[in-house]
Structure 1
Amino acid sequence: MKRLRHVVGLGITVVAVIYLVRVIDGAALGDVLVALLADPGGLALALGCYAAAFGLRTVAWCRVLPGLGAGHSWAGLHVSLLGNHVLPLRLGEVLRVTSVLRRTPLRAAPVIASAVTLRAADLIAVLGLAALAAPTMLAALAPAWVLAAAAGGLVLVGALGMAWLGRLRRAGMGAAASAMSGASAKPAGAALRLPGPAVLIAVVLAWVLEAAVVFEIARIAGHPLGLGEAVAITAVTIAVQAVAVTPGGFGSYEAAATAALVALGVPAGPAFAIALTTHGVKTVYALVVGGVALAVPGPGYLGRFRLPRRLPPRPAPMLPPDDAPVVAFLPAHDEEEAVAEVVARIPERVAGRRVVTIVVDDGSTDATAERAAAAGARVVSLRPNQGLGAAVRRGLAEAVAERPAVVVYLDADGEYFPEDLAALAAPVLAGTADYVIGSRFTGEIERMLARRRLGNQVLTAGLRWAARRRDLTDGQSGYRAFSPGAAAAAEIVHDYNYAQVLTLDLLGKGFRYAEVPIRYRFRTTGTSFIKLGRYLRKVLPAVYRELNPGRVPAWTPSPVPAPAEAPAQSAAS
């Protein structure tokens, strides 16, 4: 059925294109386009007036809803405009509200009430202007009872919106809902307002400015209109598009505008060319400016894809006691062939401090736990297997319970050199960094499969862009060090993995970042759990969740028992 729908849809599109090619007066359309390109000043004036119309609507919305910033008001209007040009059934009107709700702390009720009221005022204003400017043309295009019914319906919607605003205002919800958008979250200090004379004047002037688009294009095409006639044509097209079912109202817009122009004495061929060109100019504006409004101002409508440019200040360091150990923890799953050797090679002391080694056995089905314990590590077992992210989360908790001077994490598969542990710990012990990644790509790589090298570099490039860190060279490294504060504050928002989300989490909290070169060789035992398709399906949503807390349903990690109290004498490797 899905394939059949695609075939039918394609067939309808082909038929429609053939029909349009046959009925469009190509010479008339070409003449309008040539004239438009020959008069860039007129086109710029038309677009400037169109943009100014949305500027007035921006101001009007801000005056009715004082907690709404001008940037988010402008963005909401243009995201709605974009939606109306790419979605059917005028669904862009919904985006006007959702843009504000997704990007500001404002509550739904006042946002919806103000948007409905102003949209009704918009349509009432344009119909009123048309009735005053070109009553004869309106009477020729639609029966009086249709116009009266439309006007009555809009007045009713506007009255209901006004009543809703008034009730919210009296209930005092306006002030509570009007927290300013942005990080400061300071109250706006003003309640909702009913549309006053200034707002109504702005709404009316906005339609006059919008009518300048068809006014200028008709002038350039050699069929000048009066300003009132241009307003009337704009009113007719807007009224028709209120019930349009096609994206952007294509077809219905052209039919209404052509009929209006013909009623004013413009020949049918040039009338259709003017209508199509006017709609095309508005559509280009909607796509370009609406596309910008999806991202600006931040946070974007689709959420953040990068860390903010301005991050919190570096958290105050947690000063460890003089005898605080260096804690190394190793998540391990079915690594019986490698874990004992890795544990045995971890140095006993680093910078004069004893080293405590913890192996987090993540549901292994082999002798990983026994061999790690025999090699001198303290073993923490998770049952059943919960995933690398969960194991790292538990390892950090166990390490923090030891009251460490520094925490170092490394994989248990033998790919990383335990002898490099001191290099990882050094920046943290010196106080110059809170979070250190061992970079394979600035160090020595004995062997790495070509596909893994490419995958690592591509994923690192993505993380470097999202984190805004040009110095980030190895986003997937399995060798990392943490200050006590960073280890305690670290949050991993999924069980499957930790690499990207942990970096974004700690950088987003202001912890100081550094890298050191390390040595690497591809594993000679065991198998990696990483499969590219599954990795991307699991990790990319988690990265989005990390960058956009509160925008997606809360995620609950696997239940992990609390870390045991640190023993008086921890086993050191």
Structure 2
Amino acid sequence: MNLLCAIRDRMSTKLVVLLGLIVGLIAVLIIMPNVDGSAFGEAVSQAVEQPFGMAVALAGFGIAFIFRAVAWRRILPQLPFSHALSAIHLSLGANHVLPFRLGEPLRILSVVRRQRIGLEAATVSTVTLRAADILSVMLVGALVAPSAFFSLVGIVGWVLLAGVLLVSFFGWKWLSSVAQRRADVIMPGPAVLFLSVGAWGAEAILVRQAAMWAGINLSWSEALLVTTVSVAAQIAAIAPGGFGTYEAAAVAAYVVLGYDAKPALIAALGAHALKTAYSILVGVVAVFTPAPSFIGRFRLGKVNQLDTNPVLDADAPILLFMPAYNEEEAVSECIERVPPRVLDRPVEVLIVDDGSVDSTVDRARKSGAQVVELGQNQGLGAAVRTGLEIGVERNAAAVVFCDADGEYPPEELANMVAPILDGEADYVVGSRFLGRIDHMRPHRRFGNHVLTRALQVVARQKISDGQSGYRALSLDAARNAEIIHDFNYAQVLTLDLMAKGFRYREVPISYHFRTTGESFIKLGRYLRNVVPAVYKEINAV
């Protein structure tokens, strides 16, 4: 609905933002020297001394958006009123901090993301309502003061009206087509246009109050004219909040009505300041309420634990798999340390080779382990995902994995699987910090503590070791586990299983830092991959 959208779409986002900020700065440099400081101070004093008038002005502005939310629900009746109002306020707030009205798409994105409204339904309803808004602005301006309104907007106004009518026509056809195909979209009646007109009337309350503080006694029809002219100019807004275009159009309307330009500028600045303050404040609130938040969750929701007591096959094995990447120096010793049986069940050893280019595969096979080769290096998350799938295929009593670098003790396998075989847990993590740590570099110890505390907050669960590489899953947990990225598994696997209600348990293990090979973990790369994956995980459940 912006006349500058074609230009905006041809420019990069950075260039658009920079241009908008430059135009805003130029507007400030032009406008501020023309403001009568003492008169502006007096207007501010009047506003402060009249809290009731301030409340009336802001209430009128707020009512305008209530009308628009009601109008939106006339087209999308399944859209809750609270989310309609929130989406409108979200885009309003963004438009007051972003140039070129870049906040407009947030209105659509909000209801699509938070209420699962279809993108097509959200878009066509928004386009139709914005067209109705602008058409009602033109109608109100033309009705209250036709000669003044069109003398102010001039030929641009007629072109604008023609453009709005054209957009309204195609928007209406599009809406009609969608409404025929979708039961959740309804063709609006005349009430939508009346609500749009009422919204501009409610906004005029704020404009009239700001004028009174500046010493201008506007009539209601004059307040409507100033409102419609300044809003019509906002269609071509470049600077954040349309600063500059709003003031210029409003002052021009005041002058045409016979008022002096200096108090008119103060009235325009006062009205715009109130609108901006309301828009940003309420826009920030709209980011977080109503639930779910627009930016998503940062913690898991509260989940009831599953009551799982599966009957295990008497001959079901324990599968211990080790993801490996270039671990030729350590893999054989790791395999040899695995006990052949634990808790009266046979142990199968599997190496999931993640594209090693050394002799890891040959040495693993010579040591008696089965080997699955991924072919090329895909990442630890992909290797663990493969091992879990194989464990499910083999109907294992428990699926366990640890690194093939010698840091974790395969001989402590019985402690890892006991809670699962006893029916006390579905997901067991071997905690280094509950057990014995023979050696860990100080910066690794510190990083583990920080990341574990963060995971503990996100998961709403007491956790002592969020990055442990020694874990055991029940067959059901392994079957339902999802690892959403290939880079790593630690946090996302824990969050995934907790969100699904699987019972979590930690057991103490011994740990010694690797003496061969090289760790793939580098803090910067780790955080760049893990943090977005954690955010995605907690917002996927």
TM-score normalised according to structure 2 size: 0.86
CA contact (8 A) 2:27 2:244 kept: no
Select 2:198's aligned residue among 198, 205, 208: 205
Tell me the residue number matched to 1:162: 172
Which residues of structure 2 form unaligned runs of 5+? Answer: 1-11
Percentage of matched positions with identical amino acids:
49
CA gap of 1:315–1:116, structure 2 versus 1, over 3 A, is: farther
Q: What corresponds to 1:537 in structure 2?
A: 528
Match of 2:314 in 1: 322
Alpha-carbon separation, structure 2, partners of 1:393 and 1:505? 13
Change (3 A) 1:154 1:334: closer
- Counterparts of 2:51 and 2:372, CA distance in 1: 72
Q: Is 1:517 matched with 2:508?
A: yes
- Compared CA separation, residues 113 and 448, structure 1 to 2 (3 A): same
Match of 2:58 in 1: 47
Which of 48, 52, 69 pairs up with 2:80?
69
Q: State the distance in 1 between where 2:422 and 2:215 align.
A: 76
What residue identity is the alignment partner of 2:391? A
Distance 1:491 1:7, change over 3 A: closer
Q: Quick one: distance in 1 between partners of 2:126 and 2:48?
A: 37
**TM-superposition CA deviations, 1:184-204 (whole Å, max 9, x none):** xxxxxxxx3332243333222
Q: Could you tell me how far apart the structure 1 residues matched to 2:64 and 2:22 are?
A: 39
Aligned residue for 2:498?
507
- Post-superposition CA distance 1:185-232 (Å, at most 9, x none): xxxxxxx33322433332222222222222222334443433332222
Q: CA deviation at 1:270?
A: 2.8
- Structure 1 pair 441/228, CA: closer, same or farther in 2 (3 Å)? farther
In structure 2, C-alpha distance between the alignment counterparts of 1:228 and 1:16, rounded to whole Å: 28
CA distance in 2, matches of 1:290, 1:475: 36
Q: Which moved more, 1:35-44 or 1:330-339?
A: 35-44
Contact 2:21 2:239 in 1 (8 A): no
- Work out the CA distance in 1 between the residues paired with 2:294 and 2:532: 17
Task: Report the number of matched residues.
Answer: 528
1:497 aligns with 2:488: yes
Change (3 A) 1:20 1:218: closer
Instruction: Look up the match of 1:32.
Output: 43
For 1:49 and 1:444, locate their aligned partners in 2 and report how far apart those are by CA, in whole Å: 66
- 2:265 corresponds, among 272, 295, 302, to 272
Q: 1:481 to 1:35 in 2, by over 3 A?
A: farther
2:381 is equivalent to residue 389 of structure 1: yes
Q: What secondary structure, in the 3-state scheme, does the structure 1 residue paired with 2:439 have?
A: coil
Q: 1:258 pairs with 251, 261, 264, which one?
A: 251
Which residue identity is paired with 2:167?
V
> For residues 163 and 393 of structure 1, do their structure 2 counterparts lie closer, same or farther at Cα, with a shift above 3 Å needed?
closer
**Farther-moved stretch of structure 1 (80-89 vs 18-27):** 18-27
From 423, 431, 446, give the equivalent of 1:454. 446
| DSSP 3-state at the match of 1:331 | strand
Asked whether 1:351 is paired with 2:362, we answer: no
Give me the whole-angstrom Cα distance separating, in 1, the residues matched to 2:62 and 2:389: 55
Q: Kindly tell me: are residues 219 and 529 of structure 1, through their superposed partners in 2, closer, same or farther at Cα, counting changes over 3 Å? A: same
Q: 1:247 corresponds to which letter in structure 2?
A: P
1:281 paired to 2:267: no
Q: Hey, what's the Cα distance between the residues in 2 that align with 1:34 and 1:394?
A: 70
Tell me if 1:472 matches 2:487: no
Deviations 1:101-137 (A, max 9, x none): 3444443443333222222222222333333334464
1:10 and 1:253, CA in 2 relative to 1: closer, same or farther beyond 3 A? closer
1:94 aligns with 2:105: yes
Q: Is the 8 A contact 1:126 1:231 kept in 2?
A: no
| Match in the other structure for 1:290 | 283
Instruction: Give the Cα–Cα distance (whole angstroms) in 2 for the partners of residues 162 and 12 of structure 1.
Output: 34
In 1, Cα distance between equivalents of 2:380 and 2:31: 58
CA distance in 1, matches of 2:442, 2:402: 22
Alignment CA distance shift 1:258-1:515 (3 Å): farther
Q: Report deviation, 1:514.
A: 2.7
Which runs of structure 2 are paired with 1:319-468 in the superposition (5 Å)? 319-466=311-458, 468=459
The amino acid that maps onto 2:177 is R
- Report the alpha carbon displacement of residue 327 of structure 1 after superposing the two structures with TM: 2.0
Q: What TM-score, normalized to structure 1?
A: 0.82
State the partner residue of 1:183. none
The structure-2 alpha-carbon separation of the partners of 1:488 and 1:148, relative to structure 1 and needing over 3 Å to count, comes to same
Q: Specify every segment of 5 or more residues in structure 1 that has no aligned partner in the other structure, as ranges.
A: 179-191, 551-573
CA distance in 2, matches of 1:115, 1:95: 11
Q: Quick check: 1:481 aligned with 2:472?
A: yes
Q: What RMSD, in angstroms, separates the aligned Cα atoms of the two structures?
A: 3.2
CA distance in 1, matches of 2:496, 2:461: 17
- The alpha-carbon deviation at position 430 of structure 1 amounts to 2.7
Spell out, residue by residue over 1:58-92, the C-alpha distance to the aligned partner (whole angstroms, 9 max, x if none).
Answer: 11111112232323322331232133223333333
Distance 1:153 1:337, change over 3 A: closer
Show CA shifts across 1:210-257 (max 9, x none). Answer: 222222223344434333322221111110011222222111011112
Matching residue of 1:554:
none
SS of residue in 2 equivalent to 1:231? helix
User: What's the counterpart of residue 219 of structure 1?
Assistant: 212
